[in-house]
Structure 1
Amino acid sequence: MVAIQLTVDLKPDLPREAERIKKCKGRVFALEDEPEVPRVWLPYDDAPGLAMARAFGDFCLKEYGVISIPEFTHRLLTDKDQFIVLASDGIWDVLSNEEVVEIVSSAPNRSSAARVIVESAAREWKHKYPTSKMDDCAVLCLFLDGKINSEESDCDEQCYSSATIQNNNDLSNPVELDEGQKSEPSLRRNYTVRSSEEIEKCVGGESVDVEDGTSTAEDQNWLALEGVTRVNSLVQLPRFSEEKPNS
């Protein structure tokens, strides 16, 4: 397995990013208690300390070099490409490309690959930065050969796996059970893609009219289908044309 990095984290200390920020009178430096995290600061105020050079929002820094223009790259996939790992900087700040590839390759099954990466990152955060707050960790593993785990259920069958954990508070707060017992915190898989057949299986087999977003059952509680109704209501908003009405 050879890890191929497809993107570059646009951190403020990246030479071209730092040059743009400094030209716009912004400042780039790291705090003494976290020298490993360079941040963007206003010219005459030690705020807000943004740890990235490009972002949506953060309007106070838009005049000082923080932009929201993305970078685009292309890669032609071949038979040698086996999977793609998309993750937030909470993963890449503590795990190398090679370590992530090794974790995915050695995962017991594909559905648990993302979970194992996040758990490994959480351990590394505690080890490398014991005094820092753990950054948000989100991972999605996309397998390119189209194969799925045969032992998974219908609702679990995907060609990808994903897992998310927000910060170290999630690890320090155990879940309280009904019996008063405390269990270890666990990560949830994020099921973002569903076909119409999978939706019917996962919400009890009820059919849904996609055009008007309603269910054939009168006692439908909407659940995940509520978003369909909202989207369709937006689609059905009246459209105004520039044509003048007939007099």
Structure 2
Amino acid sequence: MGSCLSLDGGSSLPSSPTSTPKKRKNMRKKPGMRSSSFDSRREEQLHRIPGRMFLNGGSEVASLFTQQGKKGTNQDAMIVWENFGSRTDTVFCGVFDGHGPNGHMVARRVRDSLPLKLSAHWEVTRGSEDGYREISSSIMGSMSSEENAYMHTGGESRVSVDLEEKEKHPEIYHTLKESFLKAFKVMDKELRLHPNIDCFCSGTTAVTLVKQGQDLVIGNVGDSRAVLGTRNQENSLIAVQLTVDLKPNLPREAERIRKCKGRVFALRDEPEVARVWLPNYDSPGLAMARAFGDFCLKDFGLISVPEIFYRHLTEKDEFIVLATDGVWDVLSNKEVVEIVASAPARSSAARTLVESAVRAWRFKYPTSKIDDCAVVCLFLDNESSSSATAYLKTKEQPSSLDQHDDGNENHKPSSPTRLDRSGTVKTCAEILPEEGEEEGGLMEATEDTQLLEEWSALEGVSRVNTLVTLPRFVPGE
């Protein structure tokens, strides 16, 4: 799935540095076995933590559900962690959409490790009056090339903006913002060095949030999305998009990638999907501008620096939906909010939304393979009444991220409009964005600036949302 191939005869994408096994002498155990055992023990301990939910189910506070699509292993992951960081009024939520050969492993690793890193860093800075200033200068002084590229393209005004934000937002926002930046940076470095997960051509998105009291801070990487269901002045339920889908066709993202010698263009078969390509290889064709992993592109403009969004919640705000793009590709923000609001019970809201998305896939794109879907619904008005014992696991649907679809894996409709995530794409000339083309509605969701414009899903064709497998040319064939 999602392998990186070249169009040049005899030339292929440089392999991952971790893909070549090294011989070691005088070793009774194979390399990686010790760390693998440690990971298993840590995963078992994580699963026993009260209030930490990662399987299908729900409570009075949140609802979770993921369903495998028709493309192979479910590469989506999700988490809700109540009493996060041993704080009774705090909850952490996240959804992760993996891609590439090891995308499911990357998504699960980030799901398990990122909250721990965020909590640890938050604990260090909590109570320190100078924590914000010290951590900010530390991060600026130790930035890698990807962060520096971000600061110089589209982020050059961040320093002055941060000064304004410090006056506008509460201290928790500044502390959590720096904790998000640090945790995401450390998480990506850990993936690069991981002995058992090859992340060279695999990665994951991440849209995560921390809610403490009425303060909401979101960290987003990739094209998963967070949407708020709230009431307007007429008391009508409306949808407010809290994050920006970080795609390569956004002007600021494209500029950064091109300055780093990466290429951004779409294939003629799918002109609405801009992708990131290596300078001298027609691969891997990643349909997002930021992600964990994907180290084949990290020197060419792809970054793992999250965009941070803040919102002060009010009594009009009812729930937040985090979902991977398998949902947003077929349902609008408004439709998603209406579906969640009309769910028969809070504990089943996420499942109701996923089932609605699956039906929409079959109706809108009958010849396309349904994408994986993962949803977290966080309800904002009754957090204190929940407990880990209210976590009801749904038995009708398997929730393992390693499940497979053996029955439909070989089914290949003949329609030329079908584009699979791991399918072969024909060689096509590139389509470059027009000069001056801008994307509307790009603004951070703060107290006084909200994302009111919905980003539409696909128009007429199912897009490939991860890596493209391009045909290799073999002389003589």
**TM-score, normalising length: structure 2:** 0.32
Q: Distance in 1 between matches of 2:407 and 2:333?
A: 28
Q: Distance in 2 between matches of 1:143 and 1:125?
A: 26
Q: Distance in 2 between matches of 1:102 and 1:148?
A: 25
Task: Answer with 1 or 2: which has the greater Rg.
Answer: 1
- Code of the residue aligned with 1:2 in structure 2: it is I
- Code of the residue aligned with 1:141 in structure 2: it is C
Question: In structure 2, what is the equivalent of residue 146 of structure 1?
Answer: 382
The answer to whether the 8 A contact 1:12-1:28 is kept is yes
- Code of the residue aligned with 1:146 in structure 2: it is N
Q: Distance in 2 between matches of 1:164 and 1:11?
A: 28
Question: In structure 2, what is the equivalent of residue 129 of structure 1?
Answer: 365
Unaligned runs of 5+ in 1: 174-247
What pairs with 1:2-151 in structure 2 (closer than 5 Å)?
Answer: 2-146=238-382
Q: Distance in 1 between matches of 2:293 and 2:287?
A: 13
Provide, for residues 175-209 of structure 1, a one-character-per-residue CA deviation record: whole Å limited to 9, x for no partner: xxxxxxxxxxxxxxxxxxxxxxxxxxxxxxxxxxx
Once the two structures are TM-superposed, the CA of residue 140 in structure 1 deviates from its matched residue by 0.3
The answer to whether the 8 A contact 1:11-1:17 is kept is yes
Q: Distance in 1 between matches of 2:306 and 2:276?
A: 18
Once the two structures are TM-superposed, the CA of residue 148 in structure 1 deviates from its matched residue by 9.8
Q: Distance in 2 between matches of 1:6 and 1:28?
A: 26
Provide, for residues 64-98 of structure 1, a one-character-per-residue CA deviation record: whole Å limited to 9, x for no partner: 11001001111000000000111112211221110
Q: Distance in 2 between matches of 1:65 and 1:110?
A: 41
Give the superposed CA RMSD: 3.2
Secondary structure of the residue aligned to 2:292 is coil
Unaligned runs of 5+ in 2: 1-236, 409-477
- Greater Cα shift, 2-11 or 25-34: 25-34
Shift of the 119–35 alpha-carbon distance from structure 1 to 2, 3 Å rule, reads farther
Secondary structure of the residue aligned to 1:133 is coil
Q: Distance in 2 between matches of 1:83 and 1:24?
A: 39
The answer to whether the 8 A contact 1:9-1:89 is kept is no
Once the two structures are TM-superposed, the CA of residue 11 in structure 1 deviates from its matched residue by 0.9
Once the two structures are TM-superposed, the CA of residue 104 in structure 1 deviates from its matched residue by 0.6
The answer to whether the 8 A contact 1:138-1:165 is kept is no
Shift of the 49–129 alpha-carbon distance from structure 1 to 2, 3 Å rule, reads farther
Secondary structure of the residue aligned to 1:82 is strand
**TM-score, normalising length: structure 1:** 0.59
The answer to whether the 8 A contact 1:118-1:164 is kept is no
Q: Taking every aligned residue pair, what percent have the same amino acid on both sides?
A: 69
Once the two structures are TM-superposed, the CA of residue 127 in structure 1 deviates from its matched residue by 3.1
The answer to whether the 8 A contact 1:54-1:68 is kept is yes
The answer to whether the 8 A contact 1:137-1:164 is kept is no
Once the two structures are TM-superposed, the CA of residue 32 in structure 1 deviates from its matched residue by 3.0
Q: Distance in 1 between matches of 2:343 and 2:330?
A: 19
Once the two structures are TM-superposed, the CA of residue 4 in structure 1 deviates from its matched residue by 0.8
Once the two structures are TM-superposed, the CA of residue 156 in structure 1 deviates from its matched residue by 3.4
Q: How many residue pairs end up in the alignment?
A: 167
- Code of the residue aligned with 2:391 in structure 1: it is D
